[in-house]
C-alpha cells in the first residue's frame, strides 16, 4: 500500500507557502522591533557573558503579546520570534486538517500527538521550567 | 562593544554561517553556538536559545524550495516527529540539569560527528526485500520522481529509526541545533529510505522539532530578543543566498573547508569544556 504522492505533494506545497509567509511576517516584525531597539540605545554597552534569564514579560506567550503592543522594542522583537516559533505549529495543525480530509484516522492521531507536545512546550512548560 | 557594533558583527557572522551552511548542505546552525560562545563570549544558554530560533527560520524558510521537488514523505515525517518532539522536550529540560562544560563536550562530539558523516561515502546495497509489516501498516512506503519515472520504495526498521530520531530530538533540544545529520542517518541508514527523500523529509522535521524545545527555552529565559534578532536575520538571509547561488564547481572544495572549520570548532568546544571554560 503506497501513499498517493500527488495529493500529498499538493498539500505539502500549500504548507510550504504557509511556512514561508509565516517566516516573512515574523522577520518583518523582528526587523521593525530591531530598528526601534537600535535607535533607542545604540551606544549602550552589551554583555552576554553571564546568564541572567530574561525578564518575566519576555518569557511567556501571555506576557510577550501585551509587552509588544505597549511599544517596547525588545517586546516587539520577541513577538516576532514567537511568530517564528508558531510557524511549525501552524504546519502541524494544517497537516492534521489534511489527514482529516483524507480520512486517515491513524495519522490524525499521530499529528494531534505531535501538536499536543508542541502546545505543551509553548503554553505549559513554564509551570515546571 | 556597544549595541550597534555587537549587533552588526553577530549579524555578519550569522550571515556567513547561514550562507556556507546552505551552500555546502552541512547546515549553518551547528556553527552558531561555537561562534557565539568562543568569539563573542556569549553565555552558552543565550547562544543555544538564539541558535534554536535560527534553526526554525531556515527550516521553515527553505521548505518551499524542497517541496517543489516532490521528494518529502509527509507520513514518515509526521510519525517520526512524535519521537523528535518528545526527545526535544527532554533535551530542553536537560539543559538546566547538565553543567555547561558537559554540554560543551557533547557539542564538540556532535560537531566532529556531523563533519565525519558528511565526508563519508555511503556504500548502500539495495537488496530487494519483502515490504516490512510495520512500515506497511503505518503507510510509510512511498514513491518519488526519478530520472527514469516514478520510483517506489519500501521502509524498514521503524523502531530503530524511531529510537535514533528520539536521540536526534534530544540533542536538538540540548544543544539548540537542527540535528539534520543524525535525522538523515536515521532515515537513510536505519530505515533504508532513499537519500533524497531522507534529506528533504529531515528538513521539514527540523523546524517542528526545534519548536518543541523553543517553548521551554522561552519560559526559561534563554531566548534574548536582542541577541536572537541579528542571529535569525543573518542566518535567514545567508541561507537564502546560499540556495540561490549554487556554485557547482566550487562546492566540493568549499564543503571540505567548511568541514575542517566544523572540526576545529568541535575541538575548541571540547577543549574549553574539558578545561572548565563554560
Q: What would the DSSP string read from start to end of B8-41?
A: HHHHHHHHHHHHHHHHHTS-SHHHHHHIIIIIS-
Q: How far apart, in whole angstroms, are the C-alpha atoms of residue B15 and residue B235?
A: 5
Range(s) of the domain holding residue B94: 3-119+130-274
B125 in a structural domain = no
Contact A42/B3, CB-based, under 8 Å? yes
What integer pLDDT is reported at residue B249 of this predicted model? 47
Task: Kindly state the helix (H) or strand (E) to which residue A123 belongs, with its residue range.
Answer: none
Contact B3/A85, CB-based, under 8 Å? no
Confidence of residue A5 (pLDDT cuts 50, 70, 90): very low
B199 in a structural domain = yes
B55 in a structural domain = yes
Q: Which chain A residues are within 8 Å of B210, Cβ to Cβ? A: 88
Contact B229/A37, CB-based, under 8 Å? yes
Cα–Cα separations (whole angstroms), residue A32 to A25, B99, B190, B233, B241? 11, 36, 45, 12, 22
Q: Which chain B residues are within 8 Å of A42, Cβ to Cβ? A: 2-4
B124 in a structural domain = no
How many angstroms away from the CA of A125 is the closest CA of chain B?
6
Contacting residues for A116 by C-beta, under 8 A, at least 6 apart: none
Contact B207/A87, CB-based, under 8 Å? yes
B191 in a structural domain = yes
- Number of Cβ within 10 Å of residue B39's Cβ equals 12
pLDDT in tens, chain B (278 residues): 899 999 999 999 999 998 888 877 777 778 899 999 999 999 999 999 999 999 999 888 877 666 666 678 889 999 999 999 999 999 999 998 999 999 999 999 999 988 887 776 665 656 667 889 999 999 999 888 877 788 889 999 999 999 999 999 999 999 999 988 888 888 988 899 988 888 888 888 999 999 999 999 999 999 999 999 999 999 999 988 887 775 554 567 777 888 888 899 999 999 999 998 88
**Placement of cell 554561517 in the chain:** B17
User: Number of folded domains in chain B?
Assistant: 1
Task: Let me know: does B3 contact A46? Beta carbons within 8 Å.
Answer: yes
pLDDT above 70 covers what percent of chain A? 89
Q: Quote the distance between the C-alpha of residue B199 and its chain's center.
A: 11
- Number of Cβ within 10 Å of residue B46's Cβ equals 28
Task: Let me know: does B246 contact B123? Beta carbons within 8 Å.
Answer: no
- In this prediction the pTM is 0.91
List residues bridging with B142 in a β-sheet: B153
Q: Quote the distance between the C-alpha of residue A14 and its chain's center.
A: 18
Kindly provide the ipTM of the predicted complex, given to two decimals: 0.90
Amino acid at each position: 500500500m503506497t501513499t498517493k504522492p500527488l495529493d500529498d505533494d499538493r498539500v505539502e506545497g500549500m504548507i510550504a507557502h504557509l511556512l514561508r509567509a509565516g517566516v516573512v511576517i515574523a522577520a518583518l516584525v523582528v526587523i521593525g522591533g530591531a530598528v526601534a531597539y537600535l535607535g533607542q540605545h545604540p551606544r549602550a554597552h552589551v554583555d552576554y557573558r553571564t546568564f541572567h534569564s530574561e525578564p518575566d514579560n519576555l518569557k511567556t506567550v501571555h506576557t510577550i503579546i501585551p509587552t509588544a503592543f505597549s511599544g517596547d522594542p525588545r517586546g516587539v522583537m520577541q513577538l516576532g520570534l514567537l511568530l517564528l516559533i508558531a510557524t511549525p505549529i501552524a504546519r502541524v495543525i494544517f497537516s492534521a486538517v489534511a489527514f482529516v480530509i483524507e480520512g486517515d484516522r491513524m495519522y490524525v492521531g499521530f499529528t494531534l500527538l505531535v501538536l499536543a507536545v508542541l502546545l505543551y512546550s509553548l503554553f505549559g512548560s513554564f509551570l515546571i521550567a | 562593544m556597544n549595541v550597534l557594533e555587537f549587533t552588526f558583527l553577530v549579524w555578519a557572522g550569522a550571515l556567513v554561517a547561514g550562507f556556507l551552511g546552505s551552500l555546502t548542505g552541512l547546515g549553518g546552525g551547528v556553527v552558531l553556538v561555537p561562534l557565539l560562545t568562543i568569539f563573542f563570549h556569549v553565555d552558552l544558554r543565550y547562544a543555544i536559545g538564539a541558535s534554536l530560533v535560527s534553526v526554525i527560520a531556515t527550516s521553515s524558510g527553505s521548505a518551499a524550495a524542497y517541496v517543489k521537488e516532490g521528494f518529502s514523505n509527509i507520513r514518515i515525517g509526521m510519525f517520526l516527529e512524535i519521537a523528535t518532539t518528545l526527545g526535544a522536550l527532554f533535551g530542553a529540560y536537560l539543559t538546566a540539569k547538565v553543567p555547561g562544560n558537559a554540554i560543551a563536550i557533547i557539542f564538540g562530539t556532535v560537531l566532529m560527528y556531523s563533519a565525519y558523516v558528511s565526508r563519508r561515502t555511503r556504500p548502500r546495497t539495495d537488496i530487494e526485500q519483502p515490504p516490512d509489516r510495520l512500515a506497511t501498516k503505518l503507510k510509510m512506503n512511498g514513491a518519488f520522481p526519478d530520472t527514469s519515472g516514478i520510483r517506489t520504495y519500501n521502509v524498514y526498521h521503524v523502531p530503530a529509526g524511531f529510537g535514533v530520531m528520539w536521540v536526534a530530538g534530544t540533542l536538538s533540544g540540548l544543544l539548540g541545533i537542527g540535528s539534520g545529520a543524525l535525522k538523515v542517518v536515521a532515515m537513510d541508514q536505519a530505515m533504508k529510505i532513499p537519500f533524497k527523500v531522507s534529506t528533504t523529509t529531515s528538513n521539514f522535521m527540523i523546524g517542528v522539532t526545534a519548536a518543541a524545545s523553543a517553548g521551554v527555552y522561552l519560559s526559561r529565559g534563554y531566548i534574548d530578543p536582542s541577541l536572537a534578532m541579528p542571529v535569525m536575520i543573518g542566518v535567514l538571509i545567508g541561507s537564502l543566498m546560499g540556495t540561490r547561488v549554487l556554485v557547482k564547481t566550487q562546492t566540493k572544495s568549499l564543503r571540505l573547508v567548511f568541514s575542517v572549520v566544523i572540526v576545529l570548532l568541535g575541538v575548541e568546544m571540547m577543549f574549553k569544556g574539558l578545561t572548565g571554560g563554560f
